[in-house]
């Protein structure tokens, strides 16, 4: 994920850069998203989990997924679906999720679509001092651009 270089350039310490590529999407999703994957083939699914520490204290965990669909239309449908709160999503990597003990709420969330590639990112505080709105907004902005 190109965002790691941008986070580091802004002074964030990226403690963990775990990445996995997962084949079957049905087992990696829940809710309406799981049913969407059952009826819409996709090319690839990548899930990422990174632990970022602010230069002046506080840290956040970033969970991201990228889903590459065969065409723009199902990619757009997928993004619309996960952008609706409560419809489900791609699951966070299980072993890393247990390590951080973070509950992803979906409230610090962003998504974007580049042709057939749908990217979704969630940011949550991870222990210590709670980062402010600026931190979570900056982390998401740097992930996107």
pLDDT digits (tens, 9 = 90+) for 102-120: 777 777 888 899 999 999 8
The helices-and-strands tally (H runs, E runs) of the chain is 5, 7
pLDDT digits (tens, 9 = 90+) for 58-116: 788 888 888 889 899 999 999 999 888 888 877 766 655 556 667 777 778 888 999 99
Q: What is the DSSP string of 37-91?
A: HHHS--SEEEEEEEEEE-TTS-EEEEEEEEEE-SSHHHHHHHHHHHHSTTSEEEP
pTM above 0.85, yes or no: no
CA distance 110 to 17: 20
Distance, first Cα to last Cα, the chain: 11
Domain boundaries, the chain: 3-144
| Cβ-based neighbour number of residue 65 at 10 Å | 25
């Amino acid at each position: 994920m190109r965002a790691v270089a941008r986070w580091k350039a802004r002074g964030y310490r990226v403690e963990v850069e775990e990445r996995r590529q997962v084949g079957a999407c049905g087992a990696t999703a829940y809710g309406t998203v799981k049913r969407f994957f059952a009826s819409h083939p996709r090319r690839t699914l990548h899930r990422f989990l990174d632990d970022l520490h602010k230069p002046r204290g506080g840290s956040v965990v970033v969970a991201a997924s990228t889903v590459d669909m065969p065409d723009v239309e199902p990619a757009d449908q997928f993004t619309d679906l996960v952008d609706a709160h409560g419809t489900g999503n791609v699951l966070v990597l299980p072993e890393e999720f247990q390590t951080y003990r973070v509950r992803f709420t979906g409230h610090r969330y962003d998504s974007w679509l580049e042709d057939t590639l749908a990217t979704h990112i969630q940011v949550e505080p991870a222990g210590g001092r709670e980062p402010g709105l600026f931190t979570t907004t900056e982390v998401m902005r740097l992930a996107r651009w």
